Structure 1
Amino acid sequence: MAPRFFVLKDEYRGVHDAEFGRIDDDDNVDEAARCPRCGDFIGMLPWLPPYRVTLDLYGQELGDFMRGVGNSLVSERFAEAFRSEGLRGLQDFHPVEVRRVRRQRRGPKPAIVPGYFLVTPVFGSAAVDEARSRLRRNSLITCDWCRLTGVDGIYGFALEQGSWNGDDVFIPRGLSGTMIVSERFADFVARHGFTNMTLTPTEEYKWDPLRRGPPPSTQGGQV
């Protein structure tokens, strides 16, 4: 059977709904990685230490995962289990210093603030299959490796058979803003009961901010 994949997002408006903000200055970054073929940037500017954050809590308590732009936070218990079970695809695991927790809705502040690590998913562990995906791209793909274009809508997608290298968490070539996880990762989350994570099968995932609906299937996602 072909492997299954899922889109990983945090649980918006859930019990563990929270966001993190960086405490740094604009110079506290390194140069972004570039595509080995076309030379275009393929990620955000890497954040350099010290890693200091504030947490905005919208739910009732802090959970195991908070997604940001380019980076995410995972709890100490998640980090320990991920590494001990040999999962792949998250880089670095830098400990962060939580300077402040701000309550954004009514309720008490959390009694316990977990230890958190900053992680970055790898890019390029698999490629989007354009023929089996329904995407609204706002420009044509010009590089067959990074496949970076703007995307106005996602209406289910698939990954190219044989392109996956076995990583359990990654950003696919062709959908730079989407975090994908393996079936093994989905089982890992369920067994440990990790919180603030939603997993949607890639073929069922929809993102339609412009409400344009899916493109004609004959166009293979290119509009």
Structure 2
Amino acid sequence: MASDARPRFFVLDRAMDSSHDTDFERTGGPIGEAPRCHLCGSFIGMRVWLPPRRGALMLYREGFGDFVDAGGDDYLVSARFVEAFRAEGLTGLSDFEPVEIVRVRTRRRSAQSKLPPPYFHTVPVFGGAAVDEARSRIRRHKPIDCDWCRETNVPAIHGFTLEQWRGEDVFFARGMPGSPIVSERFVRFVERHQFTNMKLIPTEKYTWDPMGLGPLRPEL
């Protein structure tokens, strides 16, 4: 029996309740306009966080994470992540720019004296792949009317697959709001370097359904 040669993808999320669970709150930096689709004009991302970027870290457990959600489409990554990402030639993240950490809040007495590593701001590229509608179980409020951005409101996701992948290792998929998507190569990269505060969920098993609507169609 021939094997399925389609590449696999994973949703990248923060690993809450892990040993390196770290959060971030912005305290400075202006906000610019949100990006729009070049064809239909729909918004394809959140408003842009501009430098000088600064904020406070919340350290929930033992150590600082290598990956931190900074709100919107923005993320912070540690210096060791940046060094390895560049050295191994991975793609899909914007230029890494330093972020000023003005304060660290902790909930564990043992962590109160720890100094954070240098952190850098980055944003995943938009459009590295598109949702394969025929092979996905996604509820939409309206039909897709722009084949490039595929932007619609999505109230529920019960697994999805992608098409038209351009080869990036980290990206926001067209037609899939929310968390960034990563390649198998990125997953191996994370495992090899033991990067922390990352949860990697296979796209076909990813579920997001805050209103309990259920899947649109039976499992494929």
Shift of 1:212: 2.0
Shift of 1:106: 5.5
Per-residue CA distance 1:170-219 (angstroms, 9 max, x = gap) = 0000012121000100000010010111111111111121122111349x
Partner of 1:66: 68
Instruction: State the alpha-carbon separation in 2 of the partners of residues 212 and 49 from structure 1.
Output: 40
Shift of 1:138: 2.2
Instruction: State the alpha-carbon separation in 2 of the partners of residues 59 and 147 from structure 1.
Output: 39
Paired residues in the alignment total 215
Shift of 1:144: 1.1
Letter in 2 for 1:122: V
Q: Which runs of 5+ in 1 are unaligned?
A: none
With normalisation by structure 1, the TM-score equals: 0.91
- Give identity over the alignment, percent: 55
Contact 1:7 1:199 in 2 (8 A): yes
Q: Which runs of 5+ in 2 are unaligned?
A: none
Instruction: State the alpha-carbon separation in 1 of the partners of residues 195 and 63 from structure 2.
Output: 13
Letter in 1 for 2:212: R
Shift of 1:136: 1.6
Partner of 2:14: 10
- Equivalent of 1:47, from 26, 32, 49? 49
Contact 2:160 2:203 in 1 (8 A): yes
SS in 1 for 2:80: helix
Partner of 2:132: 129
- Equivalent of 1:20, from 21, 24, 27? 24
Partner of 1:117: 120
SS in 2 for 1:91: coil
Moved over 4 A (4+): none
Letter in 2 for 1:38: C
Contact 1:168 1:181 in 2 (8 A): yes
Contact 2:61 2:111 in 1 (8 A): no
Shift of 1:149: 1.2
Contact 2:151 2:174 in 1 (8 A): yes
Decide which moves more: 37-46 or 127-136.
Answer: 37-46
Instruction: State the alpha-carbon separation in 2 of the partners of residues 142 and 3 from structure 1.
Output: 27
Letter in 2 for 1:64: D
SS in 2 for 1:90: coil
Partner of 2:33: 31
With normalisation by structure 2, the TM-score equals: 0.92
Distance 1:103 1:137, change over 3 A: same
Contact 1:133 1:157 in 2 (8 A): yes
- Equivalent of 1:85, from 76, 85, 88? 88
